[in-house]
Structures are given as structure tokens and as C-alpha cells.
Amino acid sequence: MKQDTIKPDPIPTPQQRRRRFWFPLVCILIAFLLTEAGARLLKLGPPVYAPRRFEPAGGVPFTAINVGGKPLLAYQPDSVFASVYDPSGDRRGYLGADGRVVYRINSLGFRGPPVAIDKPEDGFRVLCLGDSITFGEGVHEEHTFPARLQGLLADALPTRRVEVINAGVQAHGTIEQERMFFARGLPLNPDVVILQFFLNDAMAMEETIRQNEAVTREYDLSWPGRVSRIWEIVERRRHAARLQREYSEATRRSFESAGWDACRESIRRMAAVCRGQEIRLVVVIFPILWDLDAVYPFEDLHAKVAQACSDAGCESLDLLDVYRGTAASTLWVHPTDHHPNELAHRLAAERLSRYLLKSH
């Protein structure tokens, strides 16, 4: 019986070896080019907008005032400046054709109309201390929560002359807000002080400014990102995720720092002075506008702030539930600026008005 033999595979020729090597690579390249063309044709990926800028002169008209022998950042009195956003990112049509929001600073260095030092006999004054949120960065003056709060309180208290004073200053934290309170707030004889707290308040001002600049600065793509749309999409998303991760980590670290201890001391000192002068102090906690319709990652930090207020003997109002369940991007001023927009300010004013009037 004849036995079958197994013939060995023929040795590939050099031409066959080259074909086996290059064919998969060519297929991959063709697939990539088709994907690249599709991404460009369909305009996939996040849109890219010009970063926000300040005018005139590209900056904010800050000055320094002397408080207890130390300089405190404040606005130049009787000045006007503006934020200018890329109008193509203004889906709400709120910012106008030129994307401009104008800020009017009065003689006290506060945003808004003139304020007399002496309170009228029938006056009811609310002083709002805070940072760029209270100031209303990216929001027209009449739509900021202090301005809206004034309208709501005036309607509810027709026998009183209601004044809500916007003493918010960009980049201020709780420590700076306390100093502003003693320097320019107490002489106004307020009936209520609203101390707006944001979760980066325990950061050093320099770190806050650095973080904000990192978010708003135009991102410089690598050369592959400038050539390939697919690479650009991946690179921009990784960059945004890295910035968000760094901001989250810096925020959490700040609650374990001497800065947080100083914040609690500032709240405690303000609460003690307000009690002594029969001024109502309410700390209003604004959430970071991320993951409001998912698992919000900073709820434990809100609880720490509320506990600090309780320990200091003052009231606190957490606005997290006002915004919970809302897509965060619908509350942003602009895709390049995640400050609360006019809707977020209106919701804050309505909640704060109900809270103040309930126990008035």
C-alpha cells in the first residue's frame, strides 16, 4: 500500500513576501484615509471656538486697595470693560452678533448702578460677596442673580426700598471676600450678607487664575493634530479630560490644605461680626457645572462647606438640587466658558428669594 506524503509549503518568492507585508499596511492606510475623509466631510468632533478675550487692552481693570496694610484686588472705580466670545458658539443667541458682554463698575468698585454709602431709612440692603459667579462673568448685568434677586425682593417687599449690591470680584476666594466685607461691605450697613461659595475658594488665588487660564487658553495642537482630523479629535478630547482631571484633583487637595482652614476661619469671623450687628449671613454654595445629570462628584465637598457654616453659627443654602438633573452644558455661558449663564443665575435668584422671604 502506497503511503501519502506531506509536501512542504513552497518557499515564497521575494515578490510574494513584499506583497504579504505591504498589502495589510495599504489596507490600513486606505481605511484611515477613508475615515479621515468622512470625519472632515461630516465635520465630526467638537467644534473649535476662538477663546474668550477681555477688552479694552486684553485685560480686566484691576487695582489694589489697602486693607489692614495688605493689598486687595478690586476693580478700578468708574470703569467699563467687556468679555468678547466667539459668536459661533452662542447657540442661545444671547451674546449678540459681536459676542460682547459689557461690565459697568460704579464708584465703589462694584458691578452695577451707583450705590450711596448711607442706607435709606426704609431701605432693605442685601450685600452679595463672591467671585466671578456673583460678578456675573459672561452675563448681562440685569440677568445676574443679584440684579434678579433685587427685582424679586422688591416685588415681595413693596414697603421697603430694596437694594441688592453686587460686590463680586473675579478670582476672589472666601478670604478675599471677608476682607472686602470689612473694607467696603460693613460701611454699607447691610441687612443681609450673601457669601457665595464656590468649590475652588480654598485654592490660592494664583492657582485659581492659572486653572482658569488653562481652560480658556487656545490649545496648541501637535503637528499630527494639525494634519489629521481624527488625531485632532482624540488629542482635544484627551486635553479636555486632562484639564478636568487636574481641576478636580486640585479642588479636592484644597479641602485638605491650610487654604480650607483659612476659609473656615473667614466664615467664622464674618458670622461673629454679623451676629453682633444683627446682620443675617447666608453662605450660598454653587456647584461646579459638571455631571449634574449623572453622578455629581463633589457632593461630599458641599457637605464640608455646610458643616463649616453650621460650626460657625451661620446659615447655608446649597444650590446643587436647583441644578441637579440638568445637562450641565445648558447652564454654561459659552462652550469656552463654564460660568453659570443667565438661566443658571435666574434659577439661583428664584431659590435664594424664596429662602430669604420664607424666614424674613
Question: What CATH number does residue 333 fall under?
Answer: 3.40.50.1110
pLDDT of residue 37: 76
Task: Answer with the residue of higher pLDDT: 250 or 196.
Answer: 196
Residue 18 lies in a domain: no
pLDDT of residue 17: 66
On whether the CB atoms of residues 339 and 92 are closer than 8 A, the answer is no
Residue 84 lies in a domain: no
Residue 41 lies in a domain: no
In the chain, how many domains are there?
A: 1
Sheet holding 100-104, edge to edge: 53-55, 80-84, 100-104
Mind listing the pLDDT tens digit for each residue in 209-234? 676 666 666 777 887 777 787 777 78
Residue 43 lies in a domain: no
The whole-angstrom separation of Cα 41 and Cα 330 is 27
pLDDT of residue 236: 80
Residue 95 lies in a domain: no
Residue 9 lies in a domain: no
Residue 319 lies in a domain: yes
The whole-angstrom separation of Cα 135 and Cα 103 is 9
Question: Which helix H or strand E contains 80, and what residues bound it?
Answer: strand 80-84
pLDDT of residue 260: 96
For 311, the domain range is 116-358
Q: What is the tally of helices (H) and strands (E) in the chain?
A: 11, 12
Mind listing the pLDDT tens digit for each residue in 272-322? 999 999 999 999 999 999 999 999 999 999 999 999 999 999 999 999 999
Residue 343, judged by CB atoms within 10 A of its CB (0-12, 13-18, 19+), counts as middle
pLDDT of residue 105: 98
Q: Is the pLDDT of residue 3 over 60?
A: no
Residue 108 lies in a domain: no
